[in-house]
Amino acid sequence: MPLSDADAQKRAAAQQAVALVADGMTLGLGTGSTAAWFVRLLGERVQQGLRVRGVPTSEATAELARSLGIDVIRLDDVGFAEGRRIDLCVDGVDEVDGEKRAIKGGGGALLREKIVAAGSDRVVYIADASKRVQTLGQFPLPVEVIPFAAAFVASRIAALGCEPVVRRNADGSEFRSDENNVILDCPFGAIEDPEALAAELALIPGVVEHGLFLGMIDEMLFG
């Protein structure tokens, strides 16, 4: 079956990212349909003899990577204590603006994604053109919250000007992240000052992480 235009763009962006991978690298492996293209193309290179280690940002990505023969390691095994870091992190975005500020977490993996990006020397995100926006915020901002604090945090976020929605699975049950946290999807609309909002969210007790990725992306590749 021929690829949709969006899938063809995702694949093309992933192909550009795979070209940045060198033998022996430790990689951050993102989550979502675009990052999955990267993992699949990486798997092809591994089957041809490329040697890399990958730190997955979700259980889903770990499973995909393993199924393709990619050596999956834990974040703890990168060697941070010895001064080593992840060489290259490749991931997708839900939205990105002209200043490479992004919203992530549509797949619920924002916490591990942000940690893996922060532990990487080079952060390259990939996307189809639909993810490019003038102003962040059309995509509801995911905020990861410890379950104990969900209602409290939702009330504090409501005071910032939006009505958060507790993310649910298709069967209606509460969605839990890989870290067993709740995700609040926050439809802020246009976020004129992402840095100010990020600072406000970080001050709310019970917020584990939010999906504003600011100053983290080194390169943004579009297919």
Query: In which residue are the tokens 């390169």 written?
Result: 219
| Stretch near ligand 5RP under the rule CB under 6 A, chosen from 16-24, 30-38, 48-56, 61-69 | 30-38
Residues 140 and 185: beta-carbon distance below 8 Å: yes
For ligand 5RP, which stretch binds (CB under 6 A), given 17-25, 29-37, 148-156, 197-205?
A: 29-37
Q: With binding defined as CB under 6 A, does residue 34 bind ligand 5RP?
A: yes
Q: Does 31 bind ligand 5RP (CB under 6 A)?
A: yes
CB nearer to ligand 5RP: give 106 or 206. Answer: 106
Binds ligand 5RP (CB under 6 A): choice among 52, 62, 88, 91: 91
Tell me whether strands 86-91 and 26-29 are parallel, antiparallel or unpaired.
parallel
CB atoms within 10 A of CB 4: 10
Q: Is 113 in the active site? A: yes
- Non-local (6+) Cβ contacts of 141 within 8 A are 103, 105, 185, 186, 187, 188, 191, 197, 210, 211, 212
Task: List residues with catalytic annotation.
Answer: 113
The residue ranges that bind ligand 5RP (CB under 6 A) are 30-35, 91-94, 104-110, 113
